[in-house]
Amino acid sequence: MKSKKSTSALLLIGAGADAVDVRYASGFSAPDPFLYVQTGDEKCLLVSPLEIGRALKLGPSVTCATPDDYGMSQKARRDLGRQAAVFLAALGCNNALVSPRCPIGVVRRLEKKGLNVKVVKDPVFAERSVKTPKEIRALRQAQRATADAMKAAVALIAAAEIGKDGGLKVDGAPLTSERVRHAVCVRLLEKQFHAEEIIIAGGDQGTDPHERGHGPLRAGEMIVLDIFPRSETTGYWGDMTRTVIRGRPTPEQRRQYRTVLAAQKAALARVAAGVTGAEIHQAVCDVFAEAGYETGRVDGVPQGFIHSTGHGVGLEIHEAPSVSPAGGPLAAGQVITIEPGLYYPGVGGVRIEDTVLVTETGCTLLATCPKRFML
């Protein structure tokens, strides 16, 4: 007896709304959007003629086609929704399951063409948060490259002279956030890692966690170094933060640093399969509360511990699970960051972050890197 043909298919937009899920499921990525359809165990790609050569190299596990194979009109080629309608029809599907990220334009087009569209819940591939051994290797490699770049950044700041005005100097010129960032990026490039948004932020710049940092670095100011590169080859990310100071810290800076370090230790000690992200986050909050560090807004600007404790890392820099008040139970094989921080304008920002693999009984660092505060 012939098996009954499934008429339902998962439709995802590669290199677009669902780029990472498609890369995860098919192994394929491209610069311009393309379509991925999964019916039962069958995986199909519809890619531009420009990409078919690379797509065919995926091997027999993925069926590859181009708009030419379906005689698509020029009009269809310019419209992902039309392409999807033709592609799904050709595969005998009249029910499309799409992710919550699917563009409304594509959904409306499919509905117009008579398809029934249902939105699946996130995550589309729940299994993505638990990493395979191959993924863990890629993440470890990424985190090692991150640690290597971090050491280079710290060494550069440590080697700086302190000018009469308190500004840091290397080779006679001011050491700026931009110079450190450049040195880090070049180091990462040598290992085929790209980093676009890394943070090298001194003084009050470091109290705005998304300020990347600019201009001269100064002695006596805490400098937040947050490095998160992506591998060109595997697509996986590393993520690490250190905070350093050149010259002598004030007692207030020293206490703030020590408190964040203690909070990170407390959080790392809690991580294990079955423990919730919320519990780990609470462990950090407890350390801060006990030390008297308050969180809130002053003149509209948030201060204190103003972000969550961590997040998953994989093909996305921020992905499931969450280590925050909303975080559920962790599972062995998940890879997460633990990155408490405290931010007070006038004193500075401190954040210390490592990326760890969750195990049944605890966690292991994906890469080690010294925590030097005073340089």
Q: Please give the residue ranges that form the binding site for a copy of itself (CB under 8 A).
A: 17, 30-32, 49-54, 56, 68, 74, 78, 98-108, 117, 119, 122, 178, 182, 185-186, 189-190, 192, 194, 196-197, 208-211, 232, 297, 300-302, 306-307, 317-318, 325-326
Give the residue with the Cβ less far from a copy of itself, 102 or 222: 102
The phi, psi pair for 203, rounded to 5°, reads 60, -140
Q: How far is the CB of 57 from a copy of itself (least distance, A)?
A: 10
CB atoms within 10 A of CB 50: 11
Q: Is 21 or 208 the residue whose CB approaches a copy of itself more closely?
A: 208
* 309, 314, 317, 352, 363 from 279: Cα distances, Å: 10, 22, 22, 19, 15
Cβ distance to a copy of itself smaller for residue 269 or 298: 298
CB of 242 to a copy of itself, least distance (A): 19
- Closest distance between a copy of itself and the C-beta of residue 163, in Å? 24
Q: Which is nearer to a copy of itself, 46 or 98 (CB)?
A: 98
Return d(Cα 14, Cα 212) in angstroms, integer.
Answer: 29
Amino acid at 91: L
- Helix or strand (DSSP H, E) at 155: helix 133-158
- Compute the distance between CA of residue 215 and CA of residue 281 in angstroms, rounded to an integer: 33
CB nearer a copy of itself, residue 119 or residue 374: 119
Kindly state the smallest distance separating residue 239's Cβ from a copy of itself, in Å. Answer: 12
Cα–Cα distance for residue pair 14/55, rounded to 1 Å: 12
Which among 145, 242, 238, 135 is positioned nearest to 189, based on CA atoms?
A: 145
**Least CB distance to a copy of itself at residue 8 (A):** 17
Distance in Å, CB of 1 to a copy of itself, minimum: 34
- Listed residue (150, 151, 156, 159) closest to 195, CA to CA: 150
CB of 175 to a copy of itself, least distance (A): 16
Please, what is the minimum distance in Å from the beta carbon of residue 44 to a copy of itself?
A: 16
Q: State whether the Cα torsion 249-254-256-260 is positive or negative.
A: positive
Nearer to a copy of itself, 6 or 324 (CB): 324
* Contact (Cβ atoms closer than 8 angstroms) between residue 201 and residue 209: no
Look at residues 43, 69, 65 and name the one whose alpha carbon lies nearest to residue 56. Answer: 65
Nearer to a copy of itself, 95 or 359 (CB): 95
Nearer to a copy of itself, 118 or 258 (CB): 118
DSSP alpha helices (H): ranges in 171-250? 177-190
Can you name the residues that pair with 109 across neighbouring β-strands?
Answer: none
Token digits of residue 135: 């993924």
